[in-house]
């Protein structure tokens, strides 16, 4: 967890700002900021995804839709953490996820859910690398005569 904490915190801050900017048409202020997805059209959602592609992954997470589903159901291979989408692709994805979005959700809930997914991804990514790190450390120690 310590290895990914700084990156996760930085991503959480960036995602919160991106959501507020990209979906400002539906942001409602209160005790905490909410996004009222019921007030955001599919076209506005597509425009938000196109202008700020970094909001795609958090939106997919709150819809419980994985990148594999986008590939399978829409035939689009998308890197959900660094998407590069055409206007047409953004519109297709927005049309696909719009029905799955909740009517309203706190921005911080989206950010926290995305942060949890990011931490999980980073930990899984590094699990395969630990063997190489241990071997490299042992090799370094053995060649130094220790």
The residue extents of the domains of the chain are 2-143
| Average predicted confidence (pLDDT) for the chain | 91
If one counts every other C-beta atom within 10 angstroms of the C-beta of residue 36, the result is: 15
39 pLDDT tier (thresholds 50, 70, 90): very high
* Contact between residue 39 and residue 101 where contact means Cβ atoms under 8 Å apart: no
Q: How far is residue 50's CA from residue 94's CA, in Å, rounded to a whole number?
A: 10
What is the dihedral sign for C-alpha 42, 38, 31, 115?
Answer: negative
Q: What is the pLDDT of residues 99-142, one digit of tens each?
A: 999 999 999 999 999 999 999 988 888 777 777 778 888 888 88
pTM, full prediction = 0.78
């Amino acid at each position: 967890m310590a290895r990914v904490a700084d990156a996760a915190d930085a991503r959480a801050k960036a995602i919160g700002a991106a959501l507020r900017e990209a979906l400002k048409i539906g942001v409602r202020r209160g005790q905490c900021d909410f996004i009222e997805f019921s007030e955001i059209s599919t076209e506005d959602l597509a425009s938000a995804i196109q202008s700020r592609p970094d909001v795609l992954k958090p939106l997919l997470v709150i819809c419980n839709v994985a990148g594999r589903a986008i590939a399978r159901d829409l035939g689009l291979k998308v890197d959900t953490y660094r998407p590069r989408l055409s206007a047409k692709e953004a519109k297709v994805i927005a049309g696909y996820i719009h029905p799955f979005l909740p009517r309203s959700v706190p921005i911080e809930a989206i950010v926290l859910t995305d942060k949890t997914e990011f931490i999980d991804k980073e930990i899984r990514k590094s699990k395969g690398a630990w063997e190489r790190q241990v071997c490299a450390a042992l090799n370094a120690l053995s060649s130094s005569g220790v």
